[in-house]
Amino acid sequence: MMVITKIKDMQTAMQQYRREGKTIGFVPTMGYLHEGHVALIKKAREENDIVALSVFVNPLQFGPNEDFERYPRDLERDQRIAKEHGVDVFFSPDVKEMYPHPLSVQVVVKERVDVLCGKSRPGHFDGVATVLTKLFHIVMPDRAYFGLKDAQQVAVVDGLIRDFHFPIQLVAVPTVREEDGLAKSSRNVYLSPEERKEAPALYKALLQAKAAVENGERNAEAVCALVKQYIQTHTHGEIDYAEIYSYPDLKPLETLAGKVIIAVAVRFANARLIDNIILDIA
């Protein structure tokens, strides 16, 4: 596995692969890799000649009161996991390499961001779209892999690739869960033992909603109420949102139809957890 920290070196390496006619799968991450990331790597490994993985905790997508400083980092462990799962190129630039001076240009996301996490994290998706625009040009992949746990991120990247005509195929990979249903996340390490026990309630609440829809419930408000009630009853967390939208457009719905996302965010003492399910309603 090649380990690269400089943009120029990365561009040169990837250009060489492209010249050889090799297809490139790209897994952009913020590191502290877990099985969710491994699922992305495995999918990329299946579909491409070369798998490139980036680890970059992007300051631009953190708000002033968010966890940029204490976001978990372990580059050695990340390299080991990446190597074990067949990553060919491991790209881990530092902040100075990615932002050597104030950016003269930035990507601003105008749709799909006034709801869910975008609403409570202003500027977050601008930071995501900007760093991905940089990374996409550095890596120039054929396919880019994202986890559906961050379903709004997938929707934003879908818009970014479509509207800017990036010659890249977006591959969305289902959420990987612990045995008790908790969605894998680097932020799970923040949870106290008691919170960890409560955390699977997010997914259980979503499954309750799913069951209600399967039993014929089509009223969005009623389904949201179910989700909220379950979480309030089973956790000490504070609900940030529990909402339903069309997917990937993220438009509000009164009556459920077509592809919809039910998404929740819950604040615990030391961590804010998110989860979602996407349903295709006939």
Contact set for a second copy, span 87-106 (CB under 8 A): 102-106
Does residue 156 bind a second copy (CB under 8 A)?
yes
Residue 253: CB atoms within 10 A of its CB come to 19
Q: Is 267 helix (H, G, I), strand (E, B) or coil?
A: strand
Which tokens hold the place of 64? Answer: 């002033």
Binding mask 102-141 for a second copy (x = CB under 8 A): xxxxxxxxxxx----------------x---xx--xx-x-
Does residue 246 bind a second copy (CB under 8 A)?
no
What are the angstrom distances between the C-alpha of 42 and each of 21, 145, 171, 198?
Answer: 21, 10, 12, 30
Choice from 57, 160, 227, 256 touching a second copy (CB under 8 A)? 160
Active site amino acids: 37
Q: Is 252 helix (H, G, I), strand (E, B) or coil?
A: strand
Looking at the DSSP bridge assignments, the partners of residue 266 are 239, 273
Annotated binding site for beta-alanine: 61
Nearest distance in Å: CB 143, a second copy: 15
* Whether the Cβ atoms of residue 60 and residue 127 lie closer than 8 Å to each other: yes
Choice from 162, 251, 259, 267 touching a second copy (CB under 8 A)? 162
Does residue 247 bind a second copy (CB under 8 A)?
no
C-alpha to C-alpha distance for 106 and 115, rounded to whole angstroms: 21
* Whether the Cβ atoms of residue 266 and residue 243 lie closer than 8 Å to each other: no
Pick between residue 51 and residue 250 the one whose CB is nearest to a second copy.
250
Pick between residue 159 and residue 200 the one whose CB is nearest to a second copy.
159
Annotated binding site: 30-37, 61, 147-150, 153, 176, 184-187
C-alpha to C-alpha distance for 264 and 276, rounded to whole angstroms: 6
**What's the half-sphere exposure (Cβ side, CA atoms, 13 Å) at 282?**
3
Pick between residue 20 and residue 69 the one whose CB is nearest to a second copy.
20
Does residue 165 bind a second copy (CB under 8 A)?
yes
Pick between residue 60 and residue 260 the one whose CB is nearest to a second copy.
60
Which tokens hold the place of 66? Answer: 């968010």
Binding site for a second copy (CB under 8 A): 7, 11, 15, 102-112, 129, 133-134, 137-138, 140, 156, 159-160, 162-167
